[in-house]
Amino acid sequence: MSGGLMDSFLVEGGTPLRGTVEVSGSKNAALPILMASIAVDGDVSYSNVPDLRDIRTTAKLLNILGRKAEMKEGQVSVENGEMGIEAPYDLVKTMRASVLCLGPLLARKREAKVSLPGGCAIGARPVDQHLLALEKMGAEFDLQNGYIYGRCPNGLKGAHISFAMPTVGGTENALMAAALADGETIMENVAREPEIVDLANFLNRCGARIEGQGSSTIRVRGVDRLYGCTYSIMPDRIEAGTFLVAAGITGGELLIKNCPAGDMVAVIEKLRETGMSIEETADGILAAAPSQLKAADVSTNPHPGFPTDMQAQFMALLCRAQGSGMVQENIFENRFMHVQELVRMGADIHVKGASAMVRGVQRLEGAPVMASDLRAGAALVLAGIAAEGETKIQRIYHIDRGYERFEDKLSAVGAHISRIHEQD
Ligand code: EPU
């Protein structure tokens, strides 16, 4: 993968996308599932792993912790071995998901030292629920010098945990810990995202005894040891959704292969409301734009609701629809950073608190813009492909964190997009 810190995308807009595009393995499933190898006493081999900056960071973290992790063409192998306990600041600051090593480290080493993740562009994103869940299982924490020190000298014990909100990362940390805890853990109000189900399936493949994944209550009967296995990561529903929007916003038609449509019901229903045709065929999901998109309102919610990770892309689509649509962001407090950039491209959007009113415009026009986070960046690329003229998207290292070969996949279906390497 290429990708310097100062790289930009140059997009010449105005072409409808047509052709076939294949979805990669899921970033947000691969991250916790790779971290879970810390809890495994054996070698693990993963397939369908996307080649992304965050995945490379995770492999680096596993190596720092003493597990030999190697990435090659969609495969990652992690060797069993002696492990350290520290996730250093320099790494955690580049990827918040590093905090997911806390649960498996406590389970396996009874000790962990993990840098406290800072805030990020989309909100404060505290980890209080992760810590509370692990405390219920007997862990003790101190916060010192920017690090979380965790200990459970007598091991983790099964517990009854009720989350204050259905947190994805919190559920994942608790799940990895509970798999090796002594006794039974009942977790209530857990996140129901498909990535949680994939993690639970992986742990079960290693010998864990987890039931209820995908519902609000998960029951885990702790086991003494998790064994190595081979596992294929689920496809990325957010990448797939981004391609659906790409077909709609450009007035094109895309066949999307390896599309996990069953995990994307809310997104597919919402896109149909805009007039798009989305049909299941033997070869994949066929998505076609109508002659004129219609506006629709959307509210982000925990799964099975409309995902916050599709909010920015959907907003870009609304910019080209007829009428007004209201976008309500319920998960993160500051996830409208793309609005001002879209406005620079001619969009008509007004934000009030957690809502944005988007009035469709006749045309978007190219402009220099900046990606503030991963999904905002994707939305700007989509808007650029649909706009008239040239758009330069800066800070695409955010996009490189989560979309595998984004520009190659888009070019292959007709987008005029190229990467410019600029000196750091
Ligand atoms: N929250 C707390 N306390 C906690 C944990 C979460 O207050 O201890 C709050 C958060 O601040 C947020 C809400 O709960 O307002 C939901 O956060 P959650 O923990 O569910 O999110 P996450 O685990 O940090 C994952 C994805 C995000 C995705 C969210 C929501 C990964 C690595 N990240 O984050 O993905 O937006 O779930 O679905 O799985 C992305 O891929 O672009 C991305 C940001």
Of 101, 120, 152, 229, the catalytic one is 120
332 CA: nearest ligand 1 atom: 15
For the record, the structure tokens of 80 come out as 């069993």
Question: Ligand 1 in contact with 235 (CB < 6 A)?
Answer: no
Indicate whether 63 pLDDT > 80.
Answer: yes
- What's the whole-number mean pLDDT along residues 230-238? 98
**pTM of model > 0.75:** yes
**Confidence at residue 260, expressed as pLDDT on a 0 to 100 scale:** 97
Query: Is 259 among the catalytic positions?
Result: no
Q: Are strands 184-188 and 160-162 parallel, antiparallel or unpaired?
A: parallel
Average pLDDT over residues 377-400: 97
Q: Which helix (H) or strand (E) holds 144?
A: strand 140-144
pLDDT band, residue 4 (cuts 50/70/90): confident
Q: Whose CA is nearest to atom 44 of ligand 1?
A: 309
Q: What is the structure's pLDDT at 125?
A: 82
- Are the beta carbons of 231 and 37 closer than 8 angstroms? no
Please report where in the chains the tokens 């009113």 appear, as a residue: 357
Distances (CA, A) of 368 to 212, 249, 371, 390, 391: 47, 19, 10, 8, 5
pLDDT at 243: 98
Beta carbon of 274 within 6 Å of any ligand 1 atom: no
The mean per-residue pLDDT over the stretch 94-101 comes to 93
Mean per-residue pLDDT, 76-100? 93
Q: How far is CA 50 from the centre of its chain?
A: 12
Condensed to tens digits (0 to 9), the pLDDT of residues 259-309 reads 999 999 999 999 999 999 999 999 999 999 999 999 999 999 999 999 999
Q: Residue 357: pLDDT band by 50, 70, 90 thresholds? A: very high
Q: Could you read off the pLDDT of 28-58 as tens digits, one per residue?
A: 999 999 999 999 999 999 999 999 999 999 9
Closest protein CA for atom 5 of ligand 1: 127
- Give the chain's mean pLDDT: 96
How many helices (DSSP H) and strands (DSSP E) are in the chain?
A: 14, 24
Mind listing the pLDDT tens digit for each residue in 302-351?
A: 999 999 999 999 999 999 999 999 999 999 998 999 999 999 999 999 99
Provide the pLDDT for residue 2: 52
In eight-state DSSP terms, residue 224 is: S
The residue to mutate among 125, 131, 171, 400, having the most atoms of ligand 1 within 8 angstroms of its beta carbon, is 125
* pLDDT tier, 424 (very low <50, low <70, confident <90, very high otherwise): low
Instruction: Choose one of 98, 168, 310, 311 to mutate for the ligand 1 pocket test, by most ligand atoms within 8 angstroms of C-beta.
Output: 168
Q: Which two tokens stand for residue 359?
A: 């009035």
Question: For residue 122, how far is its CA from the centre of ligand 1 (angstroms)?
Answer: 10
At 119, the pLDDT band (50, 70, 90 cuts) reads low
Most informative mutation of 28, 98, 399 for ligand 1 (most atoms within 8 A of CB): 28
Q: Does the C-beta of 237 come closer than 6 Å to ligand 1? A: no
